[in-house]
Chains A and B, each alone.
Chain A
């Protein structure tokens, strides 16, 4: 009897060796999630990507608009190791530009007599943190006279690595911002539909049907065409987030409504009502915990769609504009696929997009498995 009381909130889990453990819901969820191998891979990778985005100004050796004079379409720098006594000291060679005699394409050759060691925590270009204070510390860099371009440079001599890292800030957070707005809209509107039911529900659901009927990308295109070109980068960014969530909230609203409808007539809700529970108490104590996990799954799986949306819009010139940097803007350089044959490094930002989308899907899959920890 005593045991039963203690384990009222716990679920029995049989271990492989025949013993039984009693785990709380939270621990069950965590255990389930970690059992999903791909999710276990996805979470740290995503964390690393977001950390990279947050500290992008520090990680990037150059500013996104710094032009490395005379280094148009330069390939990635090759990093060598070993300067004098120190075998692990990385360095790059200074590079010299010549032109191909027939095609006039740039050729960069390493000058093996000019070693430039890579220094860490160096002073470089100044950047602002949140517009509050200025800093010029960078994770790494080389002395004046050479440059380090880990991902090569673009067609106007800017460092692609710096631009990729700094572009991550826009591309990664547009998804979170869009999902956050969708979440608020979806919860409120879906909640009203599901809780009130009847004619209100019918009306809201038909509106959602209509919105879903409009092809997403064309709708995004028209809406972002409404963003004035001359707006500052930050405003454009905010506007795009809103455009993305205008479509996004419908999915969340449907989840919230469906769950509310199926839950509100269940016995334990009726019981709580009879026992005198207020609406707010029932919603927060009984309903929310029951579908919070599903909401999180839906939200996680909605993020990659929004990241892709921003990328696509920026790519066709309707999203972020120069001087703003996002992964979609960077892909603009790949439109000339003839040049890609000679400059394949320009596809590196695409790799970042693919990895991000993949990892979000892994984590979403893991969360979906974990969302319902009592099922087997």
Chain B
């Protein structure tokens, strides 16, 4: 067991390095760079651009150098100093010239809380319903859950967010945007801030959880149905095992397998879905920052966010693989 984990962690390292390279290349893809779009922006406002200023900026960010040198500079700073560069900012937000690590540290907790709370809600709702649906196939509840599953699948997250906002606004005149009350919006993280967030977090959680629940009910129901038709279940029943023990001892455990094996993908799915929902609901999470960074070619910020999210996914996949080995003794990696 330990050997398997050690081996997987060992493979993880080159994967992470590759990933940082991919992230860096992706953010260089848009034509032009931050400086040229900065200059065009200034010129479009009718301002003249000082050549010396541009040269100074180019020197400061190492933008004139070849790509691989820029990459090594970026990586070296990260490994040695934990420094991912600075946001280029200058678009009049509070992020002007702030270190990327600070911005991410400020936004990541909210993102993680939303993702984790949504996941727990999804599991708490979907797993019991999935089990019930499978054991009571073609009952009224089963059809109801199939129906809900399809609806959740068909309504994209961001549309659902718009619809919920529309309904709440039409009914109460209250706009459910933002994650924090005013007094906490710019406050540093504290227990009081987390409590305040939990009061406002239900809308994004509801939106994200609905889609996840729909998918998971379908998976859980299908898996369990497959298991329930197998010979060993019939044998166990014939031997007089109680229905409850019969269900929980093996079929449910095995039906969990695909769920555990996709835990790693949960985070990118949640963050991907969360990004759009956050943009619409105006939440202080990673998603909207990434969008602005991408649009402004703020490459260190965008690249770092992509790299960190991807790294979290790889680590998530590792954890889910380990959980799988632990859960299902039949699975062995040699």
A51 within 8 A of B: no
Partner of B159, one of A217, A318, A353, A362: A353
Q: In this complex, what residue of A is CB-closest to B31? A: A228
B295 / chain A contacts, CB cutoff of 8 Å: 225, 317-318
B265 / chain A contacts, CB cutoff of 8 Å: 212
B305 / chain A contacts, CB cutoff of 8 Å: 218
Q: Is the CB of A338 within 8 A of B169?
A: yes
How many chain B residues sit at the interface, stated as a range, is 35 or more
A209 / chain B contacts, CB cutoff of 8 Å: 15, 317
Q: In this complex, what residue of A is CB-closest to B317? A: A213
Q: Is the CB of B276 within 8 A of A226?
A: no
Q: Is the CB of B309 within 8 A of A225?
A: no
Q: Is the CB of A223 within 8 A of B29?
A: yes
Q: Is the CB of A222 within 8 A of B26?
A: yes
A78 within 8 A of B: no
The residues in A between 212 and 242 inclusive whose CB is less than 8 angstroms from any CB of B are 212-219, 221-223, 225-226, 228
CB distance from A149 to the nearest CB of B (A): 21
Partner of A350, one of B29, B159, B165: B159
Q: How far is the CA of A217 from the CA of B158 in the complex (A)?
A: 12
B155 within 8 A of A: yes
Q: How far is the CA of A169 from the CA of B156 in the complex (A)?
A: 20
Q: Is the CB of A225 within 8 A of B30?
A: yes
Q: In this complex, what residue of B is CB-closest to A354? A: B154
The residues in B between 151 and 167 inclusive whose CB is less than 8 angstroms from any CB of A are 151, 153-156, 158-159, 162-163, 165-166
Partner of A221, one of B155, B267, B280, B290: B290
Q: How far is the CA of A342 from the CA of B9 in the complex (A)?
A: 56
Q: Is the CB of A222 within 8 A of B294?
A: yes
B129 within 8 A of A: no
Q: Is the CB of B268 within 8 A of A337?
A: no
Partner of A214, one of B165, B291, B302, B306: B306
A334 / chain B contacts, CB cutoff of 8 Å: 162, 166
Q: Is the CB of B166 within 8 A of A337?
A: yes
Q: Is the CB of A340 within 8 A of B166?
A: yes
Q: Is the CB of A218 within 8 A of B29?
A: no
B310 within 8 A of A: yes
Q: How far is the CA of A301 from the CA of B330 in the complex (A)?
A: 31
Q: How far is the CA of A228 from the CA of B279 in the complex (A)?
A: 23
B273 within 8 A of A: yes
Q: Is the CB of A213 within 8 A of B306?
A: no
Q: Is the CB of A354 within 8 A of B29?
A: no
Q: Is the CB of A215 within 8 A of B310?
A: yes
CB distance from B117 to the nearest CB of A (A): 18
Partner of A358, one of B154, B280, B290, B313: B154
Q: Is the CB of A219 within 8 A of B158?
A: no
CB distance from B62 to the nearest CB of A (A): 21
Contact with B along A46-58 (1 / 0, CB 8 A): 0000000000000
Q: Is the CB of B294 within 8 A of A361?
A: no
Contact with B along A322-361 (1 / 0, CB 8 A): 0000000001001101101100100100100111011001
Additional A-B contacts beyond A217-B273, A317-B295 (11; CB < 8 A): A212-B313, A213-B310, A213-B313, A213-B317, A214-B309, A218-B305, A222-B294, A222-B302, A225-B295, A338-B175, A344-B166
A-contacting residues of B (Cβ < 8 Å)? 15, 18-19, 22-23, 26-27, 29-31, 150-151, 153-156, 158-159, 162-163, 165-166, 169-170, 175, 265, 267-269, 271-273, 275-276, 279-280, 290-291, 294-295, 297, 302, 305-306, 309-310, 313-314, 317
A sample of 13 inter-chain contacts (CB < 8 A) reads A213-B313, A214-B309, A215-B275, A217-B273, A222-B294, A223-B26, A316-B276, A337-B166, A337-B175, A338-B169, A341-B170, A361-B153, A361-B154
B-contacting residues of A (Cβ < 8 Å)? 206, 209-210, 212-219, 221-223, 225-226, 228, 304, 308, 311-312, 315-318, 331, 334-335, 337-338, 340-341, 344, 347, 350, 353-355, 357-358, 361-362
